[in-house]
Amino acid sequence: MKNIYKALLKVSILAMLIFSLQFSFAGNKDRSGQAAAQHLLISPWGASNGWGTVGISSTKGVEATFSNVAGMAFTRKTEIGYTNTLYCYGSSTNINALGVVQSLGEERGNLGLSVMIMSLGDITTTTVNNPEGGLGTFSPMLMTLGLSYAKSFSTAIHAGASVKLISENTSDITAIGFAIDAGIQYVTGKYDQFQIGVALKNIGLPMSYKGDGLDFRGYAEGSNLLQTFSNRSQSYEMPALLSLGLSYDFLFGGISKMSSSDESDLDLNRETAAHRITLAGAFVSNAYSKDQFVVGLEYSLMNLFQIRGGYTIESGMWKSNTNTSVYLGPSCGTSILIPLGKKTKSRVAIDYAYRFTVQWKGSHSIGARIIL
């Protein structure tokens, strides 16, 4: 009975993702930028940004809350992460991300909570009568709060889902929305070195803006009484997308037995290999912008030092007048993982990433993770 349950679960997850494929490919590149909540497409995490968020199939732990929520299932006990990103350096835009993933037990899965706050800096207030400003400034803020759950249904199948609350506001205008993510990761090979990932993201109802900022004062036709009128905002769809990813780990050597107190950990895998080279690729089908291909490479030395790089490709990216995305071309990053003991897998990770941007001076991400 248990095997039948697992088989039905696998078929249900795959059917859901395949059914959504048609929706995700239904986008029109001519509608780029017409969706709401575009910040949902920006990765807030340091390690993931280092290779262009290509790790749809291989990203684990707290950073999987963005790339592919199924990767949360690999968290052993607890993982806490924080990253600050100087987005498009010189634009005064900052992104702060904080996330926690907690294991509920081997059979109960893992629960995650994440928040991303994007500040756009101070913008000069202007009106029709004061186009040059002089009225002060306002500071827009975008926030995404996510509640995630992931579970390993076997040594090969891992799946998860997220519910996200989205808020965009200034001092007098606010928009609230909800969206869901779903993902699956499949791991196979003698040393679990081949990985496949599928993630469906940002599926939700349209958003619209409300608030006093849409009101104006005027006179109704045929009346000399000054009145307040309310405008209605146009509704906007969510930036839905489907990501497909593959990765392969080339593992060389094994870390000394002194690095582990558990003999079962001596088997060769991502964490015990003295040298690991991961080759990854991803295809991202966006409903409201051009599709993208991403390739990436990561090298890990004894799970203590990692360096990675990626390249994002989009149709027409080499023509400045046809670019529709900020992140195109190369990205690079590194991580230093500090063990919390001689015979433990617990680590503190320091992450840095730089992503080239079409405008401005690129994006810098620096963060830290506590992996228990």
pLDDT digits (tens, 9 = 90+) for 72-117: 999 999 999 999 999 999 888 999 999 999 999 888 999 999 999 9
Give the pLDDT band (50/70/90) at residue 27: very low
Question: What's the rounded Cα separation, in Å, for the pair 205 and 166?
Answer: 11
| Residue type present at position 372 | L
Top-confidence residue, 257 or 269: 269
Reply yes or no on whether the pLDDT at 366 is more than 50.
Answer: yes
Reply yes or no on whether the pLDDT at 369 is more than 70.
Answer: yes
CATH number belonging to domain 2-371: 2.40.160.40
pLDDT of residue 125: 83
Where along the chain do its domains lie? 2-371
Contact 335, 350 (CB under 8 A): yes
pLDDT of residue 6: 53
pLDDT of residue 211: 83
Reply yes or no on whether the pLDDT at 23 is more than 90.
Answer: no
pLDDT digits (tens, 9 = 90+) for 190-219: 888 999 999 999 999 899 888 887 777 777
Query: What residues contact 29, with CB distance under 8 A and at least 6 apart?
Result: 289, 290, 291, 315, 324
Query: Following DSSP, what letter does each residue of 93-135 receive, concatenated?
Result: EEEEEEEEEEE--TTT-EEEEEEEEEE---EE---SS-TT--S
Q: DSSP label at 258?
A: G
Reply yes or no on whether the pLDDT at 17 is more than 60.
Answer: no
Q: DSSP label at 234?
A: P
3-state secondary structure of 322: helix
Where does residue 26 rank: exposed (0-12), middle (13-18), buried (19+ CB within 10 A)?
Answer: exposed
pLDDT digits (tens, 9 = 90+) for 273-300: 999 999 999 999 988 888 899 999 999 9
User: Shortest CA distance to 96 belongs to which of 38, 24, 153, 145?
Assistant: 145
b/e map 330-364, b = 16+ CB within 10 Å: ebbbbbebeeeeeeebebebebbbbbbbeeeebbb
Give the pLDDT band (50/70/90) at residue 21: very low
Top-confidence residue, 53 or 172: 53
Where does residue 328 rank: exposed (0-12), middle (13-18), buried (19+ CB within 10 A)?
Answer: buried
Top-confidence residue, 308 or 345: 308
Q: DSSP label at 220?
A: -
pLDDT of residue 30: 59
- Tabulate helix, strand, coil % of the chain (nearest 5): 15, 45, 35
Q: What is the 3-state secondary structure (H, E, C) of 191-213?
A: CCCEEEEEEEEEECCCECEECHH
